Amino acid sequence: MPEGLIIKALSGFYYVLSDEIIYQCKGRGLFRKKKQTPLVGDYVIFEAANLTDGYVTELMPRKNELVRPPIANVDQALITVSAKKPPFNAKLLDRFLVLVEFHKIEPIILITKMDLVNKEEQETIDNYVENYRKLGYRVELLTNKGTANSHLFTELLKDKISVIAGQSGVGKSSFLNSLNPELTLETAEISSSLGRGKHTTRHVELIEILGGMVADTPGFSSLDFNQIELEQLPFCFREIKQYRSLCKFRGCMHVNEPKCAVKEALANGEIMEDRYSHYVEFYQEIKSRKPRY
Ligand SMILES: Nc1nc2c(ncn2[C@@H]2O[C@H](COP(=O)(O)OP(=O)(O)OP(=O)(O)O)[C@@H](O)[C@H]2O)c(=O)[nH]1
Ligand SMILES: [Mg+2]
Ligand SMILES: [Zn+2]
């Protein structure tokens, strides 16, 4: 039986890509019995007598899975923030980074709408970019309008499953369109009264771009840290992870403890203040979460 990749799940059907052909399939009852739900990104075994009456019969083991957006086997996340409209938001960027690091997915940072910034805003952004690059992140500054961006990403997407994530209106669909002029993903002006996007993209679908599969998503609709336990948070910040073994106390959470190497690095300017203050905010957020039982 053939193998394929689920590229879209809609109204009870799974669309399975196999050898450049898409088969419309249903799930076999067996998934429900095993409490398995096929996801976009699942590699599957299926049978199909024709293009519209197939059945997914088996799911291959997953590398990882995200709940919102629902997608499996993600290799990397293109975290998208705009330089302007909506305004650059480092805290939101760090929120996405924490969620992506938590799932052990490689993040790539895209800063869009660079055509809109003035000199002063450019300097602020350059400063952040330098810091994020120091942490080892790949950061790209982009203009999606009237510019081809494909030359920057020829190797990046190839043979991988990527998701593009970010607030509504930052230009995710526009960016994907800029990689391939034949793509015509729907985009929309951000609302002038609210200054934010309209959630134009509504379902998750993998699209073939530059030799890889990319999911344009409606943004990570849920950006809460419900799955993350307090002890896991330091591991989601690369610089904290790097210094934590030097702290005096083994269970140091790098907030109130004495002889904390993270706070020393902060005082020496080796850790960016902004990042640390976001760490503390996220720490408080998780700490004040109601217990789940
Ligand atoms: N000036 C400028 N405008 C951009 C750029 N990228 C996107 N836009 C505009 O920003 C608006 C929102 O872009 P979309 O691509 O729809 O944003 P999105 O992130 O896909 O939004 P959702 O689908 O709602 O999550 C559109 O009007 C785009 O034309 C850019 O680099 N420069
Ligand atoms: Mg979109
Ligand atoms: Zn510490």
Query: What pLDDT is attached to residue 237?
Result: 98
* Helical ranges in 34-139 per DSSP H: 90-102, 119-134
- CATH number of the structural domain 71-216: 3.40.50.300
Query: What pLDDT is attached to residue 253?
Result: 97
Query: What pLDDT is attached to residue 193?
Result: 54
Do residues 4 and 16 touch, judged by C-beta distance below 8 A? yes
**CATH superfamily of the domain spanning 230-287:** Probable gtpase engc; domain 3 (1.10.40.50)
Q: Whose CA is nearest to atom 10 of ligand 1?
A: 171
Q: Whose CA is nearest to atom 1 of ligand 1?
A: 113
80 CA closest ligand 1 atom index: 19
Locate tokens 């990042």: which residue? 275
pLDDT band at 241 (very low <50, low <70, confident <90, very high): very high
pLDDT band at 151 (very low <50, low <70, confident <90, very high): confident
| All CATH 3.40.50.300 domain ranges in the chain, comma separated | 71-216
pLDDT band at 197 (very low <50, low <70, confident <90, very high): low
Query: What pLDDT is attached to residue 28?
Result: 82
- CB-defined site of ligand 1, < 6 Å: 112-113, 115-116, 142-145, 166, 168-174, 187-190, 197-201, 218-219
What is the distance between the alpha carbons of residues 49 and 51, in angstroms, rounded to a whole number? 7
Task: Classify domain 3-62 at the CATH topology level.
Answer: OB fold (Dihydrolipoamide Acetyltransferase, E2P) (2.40.50)
- pLDDT surpassing 80 at residue 29: no
229 three-class SS: coil
Which of these, 42, 87, 72, 96, lies nearest to 219 by C-alpha position? 96
Closest ligand relative to 143 C-alpha? 1
43 three-class SS: strand
Do residues 140 and 107 touch, judged by C-beta distance below 8 A? no
Q: Whose CA is nearest to atom 3 of ligand 1?
A: 113
Q: What average pLDDT does this structure show over 211-218?
A: 87
- pLDDT surpassing 60 at residue 221: no
179 alpha carbon to ligand 1 midpoint, in Å? 14
Q: Whose CA is nearest to atom 11 of ligand 1?
A: 189
Q: Whose CA is nearest to atom 30 of ligand 1?
A: 113
233 three-class SS: helix
What is the distance between the alpha carbons of residues 166 and 163, in angstroms, rounded to a whole number? 10
Side chain identity at residue 124, one-letter code: T
Which residues touch 195 (CB under 8 Å, ≥6 apart)? Answer: 85, 86
Which residues are near ligand 3, the ion (C-beta closer than 5 Å)?
A: 247, 252, 254, 260, 262
Closest ligand relative to 169 C-alpha? 1
**Structure-block tokens of residue 282:** 């996220």
What is the distance between the alpha carbons of residues 130 and 78, in angstroms, rounded to a whole number? 18
pLDDT band at 201 (very low <50, low <70, confident <90, very high): low
Query: What pLDDT is attached to residue 243?
Result: 96
175 alpha carbon to ligand 1 midpoint, in Å? 8
90 alpha carbon to ligand 3 midpoint, in Å? 23
Q: How many CA atoms lie within 13 Å of 240's alpha carbon, on the beta-carbon side? A: 23
| All CATH 2.40.50.140 domain ranges in the chain, comma separated | 3-62
Side chain identity at residue 71, one-letter code: I
pLDDT band at 52 (very low <50, low <70, confident <90, very high): very high
pLDDT digits (tens, 9 = 90+) for 54-86: 999 999 999 998 887 889 999 999 999 999 999
Q: How many CA atoms lie within 13 Å of 32's alpha carbon, on the beta-carbon side? A: 5
| All CATH 1.10.40.50 domain ranges in the chain, comma separated | 230-287
* Helical ranges in the chain per DSSP H: 30-33, 90-102, 119-134, 172-179, 238-243, 261-267, 273-287
